[in-house]
C-alpha cells in the first residue's frame, strides 16, 4: 500500500508519531530535529515531550489537556514552518583507541574488506558523521555517514556484553555505545569519553543533529582521558562554530 | 533517619516512583510502576504524596523490619501479609514497629505488588526520579534489585491514622483494548484477523521491559524491520518470530520492529497484572475512544483516592 509522507499516526492514547519518510536521509532527519527544536522553543501546552528519531518525531501528549484530533492540525502547521538547518548541530571530535579488547572486530573487518587495519582506521576517521538519534539506551548515539565500504551486516549471534564507549558498525549505521550491554554490532575501537554520566551536570554528551568526527589516539592520551572521564569530566568540547 | 531493613527479599524487588520525565529524547527510559494506579493507592493509604517512592515486587515480597515506627500498605492484588505472624489485609495501612517482622508472601491472581511506607523511600534521585531502571543501572538502590541485608532510608513522616478504602478499587474486565498503529499497515488482513479474533497467552517471558505473548504468529507482510522510531508504554512490537512483545515501563526508547498497535493506557496495568499462562484477547478501538477511557480512568482513580478514610478502631478483647 503506497504511503504518503508526511503523515501523523496514532501511538495509543498519549502519543502521535509524525513520520516524514520511511528511509534514512540526512535532510529528513534535519527536519525532524528542527521540528523538535521548534516544539522545545515554542511549547504546545498538551505536549509533554518529544523523541526525535531517524525519520519521525514521537510526540507525547496529555489527552486531558488536548485531544489528538485538536493537536494534529497544530503539529502539521509547525511541521510546515520548521526550517531545517537554521541552527547547525555542534561538531565534536571524538578520540578513539582503535583495536584492542573493545575494538575486537578491527582485524577481521579489515580482512573482510581487503584492507589493512591502518587503512580501515583511515577510512573511518576521514568521514564526518551525523547523530541521527539518541535511543535504545541512555546517550546511545546512532550515527549516519558511514563510508559504504565499511557497511557490514550485524553478527548472527549478538555478544552478551559490549563495553561503554565501544565504536560500532551495524549495517550502514555507526554507533558510539554509551552503556555496557548486549549487541550484535561489530566493534573497531573505544573512546574514553562517556556519552552518558548521570553524575555530570550535563549527563548527555551528544544530541540528535550533532556532527561527529573520530581521531585516533594512543595509550597515553587514552589514559589521561580515562582519568578525566572517571573524574566526571566530559573530556571534549564541541568545536567553535 | 528511619531505615528499612531487608531481611529476605523476592527475586524482583525494586524501588519505583512515578519515573523519569522528559529524557526519552536522550535514550532514558521512563521506568516507574508496572501498575501505576496500584502504586498511587499504596502511597495514599500511608498518607504519602503521589511522588513518593515505594517498593515494587514481582511475585513474592520479602521480610522487612524498620528502625522507627511507620505505617505501611500493600496493594496490587491479593497477597499474604504477616506482622510477627499475624495476618493483615492488603489495600489498607498498618503500623509496623521496630522489632516486628513484616513478611509479604506471593501474589495471588496478580503479578506486581506495591509496598509503600509512610515517608516514602528516599534513596538519592537520579535524573529527577528514584525509579530503578535495571538495564542501565539507574536510580533506586544502586540501580539494582534489592538483596537480603540491604538498608533503605525512609523519609520523615508525621503520625497519622490508619487508612482503608470505603469503596473497593476494581479494575475492569474484558478484552485488552488497543489502538491500531503506528505500523498497522505493515500487517495484512490475515494478521489482523488473528490479532483480534484469536486468544493470546501471557508468556512467562516477561520483565519490566516487555511482555511476550504466545498465540498465532503475526506476519508483517511489509517486513519485520523498520527504520527505528520511538516507542511508548504499550507498544506491541512484532519481531520476525511473529511473537508480539508488549513494551512496558523499562522499555528501550526506540525500536526497529513494526508496532501493530498500542495497548490503551487504561488496560496496560491490567495486562501487566495478568498471571503468566492466562489467555487474553485484544479489541481494537479508536484513538479518541482510548483517550476517553484514559480520562475516565483518571477520574475513577481520583474517586478511589478520595474514598480512602480512617479505619474503624479495632475492638480489643477485654
Tell me: do B186 and B159 sit in the same domain: no
- Label the pairing between strands B54-58 and B112-117: antiparallel
Instruction: Say if residue B9 is in the same domain as residue B131.
Output: yes
Contacting residues for A8 by C-beta, under 8 A, at least 6 apart: A16, A17, A18, A19, A72, A75, A76
* Beta bridge partners of residue A220, listed in sequence order: none
Q: Is residue B316 part of a domain?
A: no
Mean pLDDT to the nearest integer, B91-100: 97
Cis peptide before B182 (omega within 30 of 0): yes
Which of B283, B266, B234, B270 has its CA nearest to residue B109? B270
Domain A91-230, CATH: 2.40.100.10
Task: Judge if B38 and B118 occupy the same domain.
Answer: yes
Q: Are residues B13 and B71 in the same domain?
A: yes
Contacts of B124 by beta carbon, 8 Å cutoff, 6+ apart: B130
- State whether A11 and B227 contact (CB < 8 Å): no
Contact B9, B150 (CB under 8 A): yes
Pair B141, B11 in one domain: yes
**What is the model's pLDDT at position B9?**
98
Return the ∠ at Cα A236 (arms to A233 and A237), rounded to 5°. Answer: 110
Sequential pLDDT tens for chain A (241 residues): 578 999 999 999 999 999 999 888 999 999 999 999 999 999 999 999 999 999 999 999 999 999 999 999 999 999 999 888 656 679 999 999 999 999 999 999 999 999 999 999 999 999 999 999 999 899 999 999 999 999 998 888 889 999 999 999 998 889 999 999 888 899 999 999 999 999 999 999 999 999 999 999 999 999 999 999 999 998 888 987 6
Judged by CB atoms closer than 8 Å, whether chains meet at B24 and A49 is answered as yes
Q: Which of B149, B150, B228, B221 has the alpha carbon at shortest distance from B186? A: B221
Is any Cβ of chain B less than 8 angstroms from the Cβ of A136? yes
Q: Indicate the number of domains in chain B.
A: 2
C-alpha cell at B261: 498497535
Residues on chain A touching B294 (C-beta within 8 angstroms): 13-14, 63-64
Q: Which three cell numbers stand for residue A92?
A: 565534536
Spatial distance between the Cα atoms of B227 and B256, rounded to a whole number of angstroms: 6
**What pLDDT shows up at residue A240?**
77
Residues A173-204 have pLDDT tens digits of 899 999 998 888 999 999 999 999 999 999 99
Choose from A138, A201, A204 for mutation: most chain B CBs within 10 A. A138
Numbers of helices and strands, H then E, in chain B: 4, 23
Give me the residue spans of the domains in chain A: 7-81, 91-230
Can you give the residue range of the structural domain that contains B111? 2-165
The reply to whether B150 and B6 lie within a common domain is yes
CATH of domain A7-81: 3.30.1360.40
For CA atoms A13, A19, A22, A27, the dihedral sign is negative
Over range B144-169, report the average pLDDT. Answer: 91
pLDDT given for residue B316 in this prediction:
59
**Predicted complex: ipTM over 0.90:** yes
- Do B221 and B98 share a structural domain? no
Q: What is the pLDDT of residues B224-237, one digit of tens each?
A: 888 899 999 999 99
At residue B309 the predicted structure's pLDDT band, cuts being 50, 70 and 90, is: very high
Residues 201-240 of A with CB under 8 A from B: 203-204, 207-208
Q: Which residue has the cell 579488547?
A: A101
How buried is residue B49: exposed, middle or buried, by Cβ count under 10 Å (0-12/13-18/19+)?
Answer: exposed
Contact (CB<8Å) B259/A133: no
- Domain assignment present for residue B309? The answer is no
Inter-chain CB pairs, A–B, below 8 Å:
146
In a domain, B292, yes or no: yes
Q: Which DSSP string corresponds to B50-88?
A: TT--EEEEESEEEEEEESS-EEEEEESSEEEEEETTEEE
Q: Domain of B205: which CATH number?
A: 2.40.100.10
3-state helix, strand, coil in chain A (%, to 5): 25, 30, 45
- Domain-located, residue B257: yes
What angle (nearest 5°) sits at the alpha carbon of residue B115, between those of residues B56 and B296?
A: 80
Residues B147 and B273 in one domain: no
Q: Is position B233 within any domain?
A: yes
Chain B partners of A142 at a C-beta cutoff of 8 Å?
228
B133 and B181 within one domain = no
Cβ contact, residue pair A11, B294, below 8 Å: no
**Among the three residues B122, B143, B165, which one is the final residue of a domain in this structure?**
B165
Distance from CA of B315 to the nearest CA of A (A): 45
Whether B101 and B225 map to the same domain: the answer is no
Of all residues in chain A, the one with the smallest CA distance to B297 is A64
| B126 close contact with A: CB closer than 8 A | yes
C-alpha cell belonging to residue B59: 511475585
Of A14, A67, A196, the CB nearest to B265: A14
Q: What pLDDT is stored for residue A181 in this prediction? A: 87
Strand partners, B71: B95
For the record, the C-alpha cell of A152 comes out as: 557490514
User: How close B160 comes to chain A (CA, Å)?
Assistant: 33
pLDDT digits (tens, 9 = 90+) for B15-57: 999 999 999 999 999 999 999 999 999 999 999 999 999 999 9
At residue A237, the pLDDT reads 87
Q: How far A54 CA lies from chain B's nearest CA (Å)?
A: 7
Is B318's pLDDT higher than 60? no
Contact of A94 with A177, CB cutoff 8 Å = no
Do residues B108 and B185 both lie within one domain?
no
Residue A123 corresponds to which cell in the numbers above?
Answer: 577510512
Nearest to B136 among A11, A137, A208 (CB): A137
**Both B205 and B155 in a single domain?**
no
Q: What's the CA gap between A229 and A233, in Å, rounded?
A: 5
* Residue A155 CB coordination number (10 Å): 13
From chain B, the residues in CB contact with A51 under 8 A are 24-25, 230, 253-254
Name the domain boundary from B165, B195, B221. Answer: B165
Amino acid at each position: 500500500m503506497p504511503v504518503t509522507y508526511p503523515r501523523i499516526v496514532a501511538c495509543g492514547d498519549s502519543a502521535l508519531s509524525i513520520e516524514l519518510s520511511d528511509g534514512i536521509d540526512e535532510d529528513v532527519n534535519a527536519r525532524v530535529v528542527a521540528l523538535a527544536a521548534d516544539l522545545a522553543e515554542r511549547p504546545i501546552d498538551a505536549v509533554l515531550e518529544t523523541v526525535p528519531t531517524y525519520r519521525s518525531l514521537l510526540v507525547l501528549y496529555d489527552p486531558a489537556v488536548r485531544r489528538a484530533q485538536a493537536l494534529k492540525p497544530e503539529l502539521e502547521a509547525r511541521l510546515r514552518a520548521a526550517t531545517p538547518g537554521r541552527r547547525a548541530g555542534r561538531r565534536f571530535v571524538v578520540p578513539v583507541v582503535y583495536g584492542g579488547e573493545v575494538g575486537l572486530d578491527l582485524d577481521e573487518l579489515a580482512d573482510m574488506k581487503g584492507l589493512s587495519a591502518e587503512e580501515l582506521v583511515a577510512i573511518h576517521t576521514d568521514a564526518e558523521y551525523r547523530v541521527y538519534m539518541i535511543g535504545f539506551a541512555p546517550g546511545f548515539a546512532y550515527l549516519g555517514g558511514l563510508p559504504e565500504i565499511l557497511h557490514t551486516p550485524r553478527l548472527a549471534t549478538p555478544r552478551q556484553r559490549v563495553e561503554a564507549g565501544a565504536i560500532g558498525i551495524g549495517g550502514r549505521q555507526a554507533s558510539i555505545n554509551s552503556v555496557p550491554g548486549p549487541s550484535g554490532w561489530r566493534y573497531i575501537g573505544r573512546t574514553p569519553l562517556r556519552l552518558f554520566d548521570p553524575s555530570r551536570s550535563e549527563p548527555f554528551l551528544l544530541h540528535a543533529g550533532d556532527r561527529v568526527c573520530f581521531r585516533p589516539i594512543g595509550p597515553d592520551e587514552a589514559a589521561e582521558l580515562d582519568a578525566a572521564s572517571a573524574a566526571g569530566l566530559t573530556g571534549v568540547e564541541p568545536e567553535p562554530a | 533517619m528511619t531505615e528499612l531493613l531487608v531481611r529476605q527479599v523476592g527475586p524482583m524487588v525494586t524501588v519505583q516512583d512515578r519515573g523519569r520525565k522528559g529524557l526519552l529524547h536522550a535514550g532514558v527510559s521512563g521506568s516507574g510502576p508496572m501498575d501505576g494506579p496500584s502504586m498511587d493507592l499504596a502511597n495514599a493509604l500511608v498518607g504519602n504524596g503521589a511522588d513518593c517512592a515505594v517498593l515494587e515486587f514481582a511475585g513474592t515480597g520479602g521480610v522487612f523490619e524498620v528502625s522507627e515506627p511507620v505505617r505501611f500498605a500493600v496493594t496490587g492484588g491479593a497477597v499474604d501479609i504477616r506482622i510477627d505472624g499475624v495476618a493483615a489485609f492488603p489495600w489498607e495501612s498498618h503500623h509496623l514497629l521496630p522489632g516486628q517482622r513484616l513478611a509479604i508472601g506471593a501474589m495471588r491472581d496478580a503479578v506486581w505488588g506495591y509496598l509503600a511506607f509512610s515517608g516514602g523511600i528516599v534513596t538519592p534521585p537520579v535524573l529527577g526520579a528514584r525509579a530503578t531502571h535495571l538495564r542501565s543501572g539507574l536510580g533506586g538502590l544502586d540501580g539494582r534489585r534489592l538483596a537480603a541485608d540491604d538498608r533503605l532510608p525512609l523519609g520523615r513522616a508525621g503520625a497519622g491514622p490508619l487508612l482503608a478504602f470505603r469503596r473497593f478499587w476494581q479494575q475492569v474486565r474484558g478484552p485488552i483494548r488497543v489502538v491500531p498503529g503506528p505500523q498497522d499497515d505493515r500487517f495484512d488482513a490475515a494478521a489482523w484477523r488473528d490479532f483480534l479474533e484469536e486468544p493470546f497467552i501471557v508468556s512467562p517471558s516477561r520483565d519490566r521491559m516487555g511482555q511476550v505473548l504466545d498465540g498465532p504468529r503475526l506476519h508483517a507482510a511489509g517486513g519485520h524491520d523498520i527504520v527505528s522510531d520511538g516507542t511508548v508504554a504499550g507498544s506491541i512490537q512484532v519481531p520476525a518470530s511473529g511473537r508480539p512483545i508488549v513494551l512496558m515501563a523499562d522499555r528501550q526508547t526506540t525500536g526497529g520492529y513494526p508496532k501493530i498497535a498500542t495497548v490503551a493506557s487504561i488496560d496496560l496495568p491490567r495486562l501487566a497484572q495478568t498471571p503468566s499462562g492466562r489467555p487474553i484477547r485484544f479489541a481494537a478501538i479508536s484513538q479518541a475512544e482510548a483517550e476517553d477511557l484514559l480520562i475516565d480512568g483518571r477520574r475513577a482513580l481520583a474517586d478511589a483516592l478520595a474514598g480512602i478514610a480512617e479505619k474503624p478502631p479495632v475492638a480489643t478483647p477485654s
